[in-house]
Amino acid sequence: MSAIAMSYSVFTQEKEIREQLAAVSGYEVVQDADIISEVCSRYKFGREKVERAVYGPPSAFNRFTHERETMRAYLKLVMAEHMGKQGVLFSGFVTHLVPPAATHILKVGLFDEKTNRIHRAVKEGVSEKNASKLIKKNDNSISDWVNFLHGKPASDHSLYDIFIPVGSKTPAEAVQLIMENYRKPAVMETDESLQAVADMATGARVELALLSKGYTTEVQCSNAKVVLRVNKSVHSFSKLTETLSSIAGQVEGVRQVEVVAGKDYHVSIYRDQEFTLPPKVLLVDDEQEFVQTLSDRLNTRSYGSYPLFDGEQAMEFLTHETPDVMVLDLKMPGMQGVEVLKKTKEAKPEIEVIILTGHGSEEDKKICLELGAYAYLQKPVDIVQLTAIIDEAYKEVAAAKMAQA
């Protein structure tokens, strides 16, 4: 039995079409929330982390932690299980995880012009201004997600078997069109189509095995043969090939591994045998040249650093990010470092704060330590000394996380 995967933009009558389609087909509806909940429950992730991987924006530290790539792999594993069931109607962002080779799943795109969508939103009681904001946010999210998965815009017709401009059709007409295409011989379970689902799961397990060792290699899987495409500069391609083949070859379901050079250049800061997730370090200092240089030097030493240039930016950043360690200057325009330290410890006490200043006094040091600063350092500071303090602070953060696990 085949399945249907329906992607849509907000205010495109998705609910009406989904409900009518479920009634006509008798299929079980599986939405984003269902897949996300299952990932959270099975693999013990916080819901915010998984939702952020899907809806964005990705974490500022993602290029160091690869959280989004990791969540994508877990989402694929759960999706593959549901794709192996009989009679399922998928709806939402997760439909873009369905591989093109899974031809027994009819891929439907529901889209419409912004003016029509705003009109529908207003009829639902949403103000025109808020409707415009919601549409923009949703469109940005789905565009980012599809580009992350496929490197294409969400409106690319090649991503769908049917692309329906709902402005010209009623929900009933859209359902009729979907069912007409769904009943065509091309949308049938075949050995090849079912193998594509198994390959999706195998590829996801390979991705997770590689990510656990610090590799972000592109993974393609077909008939249990895995092709790893290397998109970064390497010192010894033959050695890397041997390492990647060994990791992938141990994954359940892998029959053969091939490593090839990719056309895109992408640098990963990780090294295999030494891989651990790096400390996420937030740098806050109004001396932009200094803080950018410090960030670059930390990055080359496998620390995940992110620079900001004033206290207000830091507090806004902390509303949606939680670094492990903050390296904070005291004297800045606007919000001073002491206030940032106090507010940080009130809002997110798990963050260890290292004061790094060129203008502090013994009294400042006393105040900062009383407010919970992990350390108080004077500029200029040796990078070896600073990284040693960051490491010590990170151990405290890691220990606290382990105690809560």
**Range with the poorest average pLDDT among 158-172, 189-203, 231-245, 328-342:** 231-245
Share of the chain above pLDDT 70, in %: 96
Split at pLDDT 50, 70, 90, the class of 216 is confident
Q: What are the structural domains, with CATH classification, of the chain?
A: 3-182 (3.40.50.300), 191-261 (3.30.1340), 280-404 (3.40.50.2300)
pLDDT for 237 = 79
Residue 94 has pLDDT above 70, yes or no: yes
Tell which residue, 331, 335, 285, has the closest CA to residue 305.
285
Residue 320 has pLDDT above 70, yes or no: yes
- CA distance between the termini of the chain: 41
Tell which residue, 312, 268, 305, 301, has the closest CA to residue 290.
305
pLDDT for 401 = 78
Share of the chain above pLDDT 90, in %: 80
Residue 272 has pLDDT above 60, yes or no: no
> What's the mean pLDDT in 273-280?
66
Q: Please, which residues have CB within 8 angstroms of residue 133's CB and are 6 or more apart in sequence? A: none
150 compared with 270, residue with greater pLDDT: 150
CB 209 within 8 A of CB 247: yes
Split at pLDDT 50, 70, 90, the class of 68 is very high
Rounded to two decimals, what is the model's pTM? 0.87
Residue 274 has pLDDT above 50, yes or no: no
Helix (H) or strand (E) run with residue 260 in it = strand 256-261
For the record, the structure tokens of 307 come out as: 């620079």
**Range with the poorest average pLDDT among 158-167, 244-253, 295-304, 307-316:** 295-304
Give per-residue pLDDT as tens, 324-376. Answer: 999 999 999 999 999 999 999 999 999 999 999 988 889 999 999 999 999 99
pLDDT for 238 = 84
Split at pLDDT 50, 70, 90, the class of 265 is very low
233 compared with 11, residue with greater pLDDT: 11
pLDDT for 267 = 43
268 compared with 197, residue with greater pLDDT: 197
pLDDT for 234 = 66
Interaxial angle between packed helices 191-211 and 237-249, expressed in degrees from 0 to 180 and rounded to the nearest 10: 120
Average pLDDT in the chain? 92
pLDDT for 231 = 78
Split at pLDDT 50, 70, 90, the class of 295 is very high
Q: Please, which residues have CB within 8 angstroms of residue 104's CB and are 6 or more apart in sequence? A: 2, 3, 187, 188, 189, 190, 193, 194
**Matching residue, tokens 């013994």:** 362
Split at pLDDT 50, 70, 90, the class of 311 is very high
